[in-house]
A and B are shown apart, each in its own frame.
Chain A
């Protein structure tokens, strides 16, 4: 029995006068990987940034409608609290440049002023790095700066950092677009493992990637959610002409 963890109702978002999301209705089931696809500028990034309320950090933006996290209206929650349930990984890896690998992983705790004992920290670091499939590669250099790692390793470090907060949902905005094929493969593998414990919402331009990793796919076009279904259905039997055009590569 699948339960819904995230649900938007007639959700719209604006940059100034420019409406970039138009009455989005979507339900995300727990422990699924949902791919968000669509041509450039259609509002994918905006959508997932609304889910953890990062959208409102940009000046002169507003939203209408609402999003529910489990039973809670996220716009009635404190954004700081919400973001601890909903982690985020960005398009470009962004480890903290002043911190070591070790410090990066537990940054969510130290920056929030939580005091952990050494064994707790060690365990958290090892556990999170293992989940992010990075432990074996960095276990001997935990105290070097995170920025020394390769791009793919940095991105997994960022995933570990998000996972250390023990979130329920992980938002990923084109997490592999800045990476080489080998790193990409590693991260895709990782996503598959993470599904057991987390719900993942992943933005991607790459149709093969969506097909390979996701359970469900949402297709956005010009700010509207055109089609949302099981990934297999979307790819083999799209209902909407625009979706069909997109997946067959008739427009980019």
Chain B
């Protein structure tokens, strides 16, 4: 099967070059898209940054009609909701990580729970929100009544619970990975000295995986900060600075979801985009740091 004529050879060489360049180009394009995303939201935030300035972060009133764009209630709402979700999720994430990474690494139980956790991650946010409205909200309302709080049902607490369920799968998969990376020689050395499993976990596994587990939790915080739909449906959408964890509130993501299509006026829209910029920057930093820790951990 021989090719001799020069035109065919030229064609082959062209195809070859074209293909390689095409692959590199597609990779380059991804970087360009990412950069453009950043530049786009940065530029679109400028009107708001100019008009509102730093008071965007400490202003307590959000009243677009009066041109008041204080983002503090949403900043607080976002932080409290996410951190509460994180606090709820951590004991569960570490337990499931140990379950899948140490106690049951093979066999039916392992497969069953691993698949269940994966499915937990596969359920869309909007469905968590929907089911939450019908199951969790009445429950929280009863709880609030018995605590003699205003029985809203919706609020930071409700959103945090759903949020914690949604972020557990992410931290579990990372925590499980790092736990499985603990060298078995280390564990065996401890067992051979008569250590119990509890002692091996406490003295070998946890210290060894501390940074990896931290990174897993950090990355799940990144998820929580930007999570939109379920939170929007359960947090109560209040513009007022929350006073306790049962109060209705808003996160940055839920404000954007609620008000973006109705935002009239350049500064208003731009202020919403600035919240997007803030979310983008914070989650990107969290992501890069978290991944870096995990990467370093896997190489060691």
Contacts and interface: CB of A to CB of B under 8 A. Distances in A.
Contact of A108 (B1, B3, B9, B12): B1
A80 B1 contact: no
A114 interface: yes
Nearest to A106: B1
A199 to B, nearest CB: 16
Contacts of A109: 1
Main secondary structure on A side of the interface with B:
helix
A85 B1 CA distance: 9
A114 B16 CA distance: 17
B283 to A, nearest CB: 35
A109 B3 CA distance: 12
A164 B281 CA distance: 58
B235 to A, nearest CB: 51
A112 interface: yes
A80 B12 CA distance: 8
A112 B2 contact: no
B203 interface: no
Contacts of A114: 1
A109 B16 CA distance: 18
Interface residues of A, number: 11
Interface in B176-225: none
B197 to A, nearest CB: 42
Contact of B9 (A81, A85, A166): A81
Contacts of B13: 78
B11 to A, nearest CB: 11
Contacts of A133: none
Contacts of A84: 1-3
Nearest to B10: A78
Nearest to B16: A80
Contacts of B2: 81, 84-85, 166
Nearest to B15: A80
A165 interface: yes
Interface in B9-56: 9, 12-13, 16
Contacts of A165: 1
Interface string A110-135: 00101000000000000000000000
Nearest to A81: B3
B24 to A, nearest CB: 14
A85 B4 CA distance: 12
Contact of A112 (B1, B9, B16): B1
A125 B292 CA distance: 53
Contacts of B3: 81, 84
A210 B3 CA distance: 34
Contacts of A81: 2-3, 9
A80 B16 CA distance: 10
12 contacts: A78-B9, A78-B12, A78-B13, A80-B16, A81-B3, A81-B9, A84-B2, A84-B3, A85-B2, A114-B1, A165-B1, A166-B1
Interface of B: 1-3, 9, 12-13, 16
The 9 A-B pairs of least Cβ separation, nearest first, read: A78-B9, A165-B1, A80-B12, A81-B3, A109-B1, A84-B2, A84-B1, A114-B1, A108-B1
Given A78-B12, A81-B9, A165-B1, 4 more contacts: A78-B9, A84-B3, A109-B1, A166-B1
